[in-house]
């Protein structure tokens, strides 16, 4: 990647995404909430935050986990209304998520339902980065554990925007830590999970 196409991280637009769904895969589930927030240089530029009507009842365990009920999504936008908002927010930004493949899978499925191509944006997984940069500081790398252990400003709560804000906090903290490994440009951040092995648990992590 040439320097002209390889910006310094403070010049990169990151869009942090999170989804709440009715199932574990796009084959057996659908979006019920999606949120995204765009950042550059740590400054939030724009956001999307909406419930989504899946067109069928939400399983009881999902309602209990998320607090999102059938009544809440009744009358909410359908995919064909939400996808254009997502598409506009994502643009050519770097997509970020905690276990980002899960969220991208559902976003791609939503895009396909609306005749859009899958997203081709570069992706950063804060879960993979955390396993390499801070795994020795926490008992596990769940988003809630990381938010509490690293004393991030926002805490996740299985709602899309709350989880986006916590993931954005985590991204910015991990970028700060990654500079100690010489990571200054986008290509270096994208390559970091391949460059570093996952950290083992420390005695502190095991005892926590």
| Catalytic residue list | 158
Which stretches does DSSP call E strand in the chain? Answer: 13-21, 31-40, 43-51, 94-97, 123-125
Residue 90 neighbours by CB under 8 Å, 6+ apart: 15, 36, 119, 121
The H or E element that residue 137 is part of is none
| DSSP alpha helix (H) spans, 27-159 | 60-66, 70-73, 79-90, 100-113, 126-133, 143-149
> What's the length of the chain?
208
């Amino acid at each position: 990647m040439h320097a002209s196409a390889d910006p310094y991280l403070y010049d990169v637009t990151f869009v942090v995404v999170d989804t709440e769904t009715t199932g574990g895969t796009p084959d057996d589930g659908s979006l019920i909430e999606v949120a995204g927030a765009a950042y550059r240089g740590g400054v939030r530029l724009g956001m999307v935050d909406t419930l989504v009507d899946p067109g069928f009842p939400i399983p009881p365990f999902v309602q209990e986990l998320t607090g999102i009920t059938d009544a809440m999504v009744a009358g909410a936008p359908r995919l064909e209304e939400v996808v254009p908002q997502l598409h506009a927010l994502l643009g050519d930004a770097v997509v970020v998520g905690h276990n980002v493949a899960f969220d991208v899978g559902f976003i791609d499925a939503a895009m396909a339902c609306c005749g859009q191509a899958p997203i081709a944006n570069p992706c950063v997984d804060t879960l993979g980065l955390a396993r390499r940069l801070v795994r020795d500081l926490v008992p596990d790398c769940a988003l809630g554990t990381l938010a509490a252990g690293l004393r991030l400003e926002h805490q996740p709560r299985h709602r899309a925007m709350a989880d986006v804000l916590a993931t954005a906090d985590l991204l910015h903290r991990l970028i700060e830590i990654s500079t100690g490994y010489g990571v200054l440009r986008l290509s270096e951040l994208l390559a970091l999970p391949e460059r570093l092995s996952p950290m083992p648990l420390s005695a502190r992590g095991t005892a926590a």
